[in-house]
Amino acid sequence: MKPPKFEYRAARTVEEAVSLLQEAGEDAKILAGGQSLVPMLNFRLTRPSHLIDINKVSELDYIREKDGKLAIGALTRERTIERSALVRQKFPLLTEATEWIGHVQIRNRGTIGGSVAHADPASEYPALVVLSDAELTIQGPDGSRTTTWDEFFVTYLTTSLQPFEVLTELRFPLPKPGSGYAFVELARRHGDFALVGCAAQVTMNGKGTCQEARLALIGVGPFPHRSPDAEAMLKGQKLTDKLISEAGQKISEEVEPEGDMHASTEYRRAMSKVFTERALKKALSRVQGGK
């Protein structure tokens, strides 16, 4: 478990990172927190020619509220997000999602940008990017561009990031007043990759009617699953147990999970219903003041 040979370069600015990527060529990889990349290197699953270390690019380490959005620099550590009072106050779903990521030691190093760019099908942050239609800012040789999840996530571990591009910022629209949230997950052990996970955010009006529901599931496909149909079923309705169950059913019929030694396709499909229901109920209870 020793990595094959690679060249190492460290950048101090985004601009420098982009130019180092260009110099290195198409087989280079960005090293952020390294919590997925380093094990993959040691297993020799990946053999990049160069590692471009962005850990010293401090301009990418921030959490700010801006124009009704929470803007987070790509190099912000997961642990920083977990402990951020601003995040907890404005977008507690992100706090809750963070708590599901691995273990403290992993969160101390892991970064939000790294997690989203790595696009593991069981990762928590991509689910929130999908759920909240977050904007992703990407910097490349020709300047910066902004994209959203439907363009960004391509398939397993694959995004539309081009070889010389760096993901720099994620902007999450803040939930509207009257919103409740939940991130629930099924894993074999604490900190394991989710077999199935569901993020939910529901916004209720004063009369107990659902104004908006957002759902994103992980572990059930190549990247997080969003269900416009299930969300539409909930919109404008009272969220009864029956309706919640129907939304869960809808999602379980939509997803196409793959099985592995821990969870079969059938099991993941069934759990997508169970965890959609659990997430919705928990989110709803939080609108009503529950913990």
Partner 1 sequence: MKLEGKYTFKAARQKVWDVLLDQKVLASCLPGCERLEEVAPDQFEARLKIGVASVKGTYDGKVRILEKHPISSYRMEVEGSGAPGFVKGEATISLEDKGDKTDILYSGEAQIGGLVASIGQRMLGGVTKLMVNQFFKAMEKKIQ
Partner 2 sequence: MAATTTETAQRWVGRSVKRVEDPRLLTGRGTYVDDLHLANLHQAAILRSPHAHARIRGIDASKAEALPGVVGVVRGKQVAELSEAFPLGVAAPVRYYSCAVGKVLFVGEPVAVVVAKDRYTAEDACDLIEVDYEPLPCVLDPEKAVEDPTAPILHENVGSNVANHRVLHYGDTDKAWAEADLIVKTGRLVFPKYGSTPVEGYAAAAQWDPLNQAYTIWSNFHGPFIMHPVMCRALGVTEDRLRFIVPPDIGGGFGIKSSVYPYMTLMAICARVTGLPVKWIEDRREHLVASSSGTDRVSYLEAAVKKDGTILGVRMKIYDNCGGYIRTPEPACLYRATGNYSGAYLFQNLKMDQYAVMTNKSLTGPNRGYGCQQLYFGLERLVDQVAYDLGMDVAEVRLKNLIPAGAFPYTTPSGGIYDSGDYSKSVRLALDMAKYDELRKRQTAARASGKLYGIGVATAVDPSVTNMAYITVAWTPEERARKGYLPKAGSSETGSVRIDPSGKAFCMVNTTPEGQGHETAVSQIVADELGMAIGDVHVITEFDTFTRTWSITSGSYSSRFASVGASAVATAARRVKEKVLKIAAPMLEVNPQDLDVRDSKVFVKGSPERSVPIRRIAGQAHWSATLLPEGLEPGLQATCMFNFPNAKPPDEKDRVDSSQTYGFIAEVMGVEIDPATGEVRIDKYVTVHDVGTLINPMIVEGQVMGGALHGVAGALYEEMAYDESGQFLAASFMDYLCPTAMEAPPIEIGHVVSPSPFTVLGSKGCGESSTMTAPAVVANAIADALRPLNIAVRELPMTPNKVWKLLQEQKAKGVA
> Where does this chain bind partner 1 (CB under 8 A)?
27, 29, 40, 43-48, 119, 121-122, 155-158, 193, 221-222, 258-261
Structural tokens at position 265: 């396709």
Instruction: Give the separation between CA 214 and CA 202, rounded to whole angstroms.
Output: 6
Contacting residues for 59 by C-beta, under 8 A, at least 6 apart? 13, 14, 73
Would you say 129 or 217 has its CB closer to partner 2? 217
Alpha helices (H) in 91-148, listed in sequence order = 92-99, 104-109, 112-118, 124-131
CB 113 within 8 A of CB 80: no
Q: Does 242 bind partner 2 (CB under 8 A)?
A: no
- For residues 23 to 62, the per-residue mask of contacts with partner 2, x marking binding by CB under 8 A and - elsewhere, is ----------------x---xx------------------
CB of 20 to partner 1, least distance (A): 17
**Cα separation of 248 and 183, whole Å?**
15
Minimum distance between the CB of residue 163 and partner 2, rounded to whole angstroms? 24
Report the DSSP pairing between strands 210-218 and 179-186. Answer: unpaired
To the nearest whole angstrom, how small is the minimum distance from the Cβ of residue 157 to partner 1?
4
- State the nearest-atom distance from the C-beta of 5 to partner 2, in Å: 7
Residue with tokens 């053999």: 47
Q: Would you say 122 or 170 has its CB closer to partner 2?
A: 122
Q: Tell me: does residue 99 bind partner 2 (CB under 8 A).
A: no
Interface residues with partner 2 (CB under 8 A)?
A: 1-5, 39, 43-44, 186, 188-193, 195, 260-264, 266-267, 270-271, 274
